[in-house]
Amino acid sequence: MKLSKASLAIELSRLKRFEEGEIKLEQYSTDSEIAASVLWNALLIGDIKCKTIADLGAGTGILGIGAMLVGAKKVFLVEKEEEALRMAKENAGGMKNISIISCDIGNFKENVETVIMNPPFGTKKEHADKVFLEKAFSIAKVIYSIHKSSTKRFIEAITKDNCFRITHEWKLTFPIKRSYRFHTKPKVNIKVSCFRMEK
């Protein structure tokens, strides 16, 4: 099935997502339009088709499953939270060449060609994304990672410290729908950037 960016977003919008995630893990569903945009940019640059991909902290699997839909050779969905794993398995269905790995990302040992991830923003725990970035730097030469735009200086510093460079930055608006009991608004828009980092 050959997909356009718009039809990819539609396919991803049909996947199951969190009604209420685990707050301490900052589990927010990645918006299907944002996921499609990130994946499409990676596809056009040549970082998905026929590549081995890891989605670290995969949640319900939207980025990794999307990568498979646009031609990845193999995808690892790495997640430790049980409900997210259950939904990721359901979303992946019988898709071949998707491995769902139940473990903390620190215990994931596979080397891949590309990491595509939406790590915690660090709202509940400062620089919670650092662990994800350090793991990504250790297993891949190309990384796509979504972060709050306000943390750009931190991203630049950790990228340089790990002998990577930022080649692209795409600015996006990340809608967070009411998904926890303490949320008072139906939706809040967060300014985020997807950074492409390369060794």
**pLDDT score, position 25:** 46
Report the SS3 class of residue 173. Answer: strand
pLDDT at 22 over 60: no
Q: Are 32 and 56 in contact (CB under 8 A)?
A: no
**pLDDT score, position 125:** 64
Statement: the pTM of the whole predicted model exceeds 0.75: yes
Question: Which percentage of the chain shows pLDDT scores above 70?
Answer: 86
Of the candidates 120, 126, 77, which has an alpha carbon nearest to the alpha carbon of residue 102?
77
Rounded to 5°, the CA angle 104-84-124 comes to 65
For 67-98, letters b (16+ CB in 10 Å) and e give: bbbbebebbbbbbbbebbbebbeebbeeeeeb
pLDDT at 3 over 80: yes
Q: Which of 8-12, 107-111, 157-161, 176-180 has the lowest mean pLDDT?
A: 176-180
**CA pair distance 1, 71, nearest whole angstrom:** 10
**CA pair distance 177, 196, nearest whole angstrom:** 26
**pLDDT score, position 54:** 98
What digits encode the pLDDT tens for the residues 47-92? 999 999 999 999 999 999 999 999 999 999 999 999 999 999 999 9
**CA pair distance 118, 103, nearest whole angstrom:** 17
Query: What class is the 5-198 domain?
Result: alpha beta
**CA pair distance 24, 17, nearest whole angstrom:** 17
pLDDT at 135 over 60: yes
The domain locations on the chain are 5-198
Task: Please state, rounded to an integer, the average pLDDT across all residues of the chain.
Answer: 89
**CA pair distance 34, 45, nearest whole angstrom:** 17
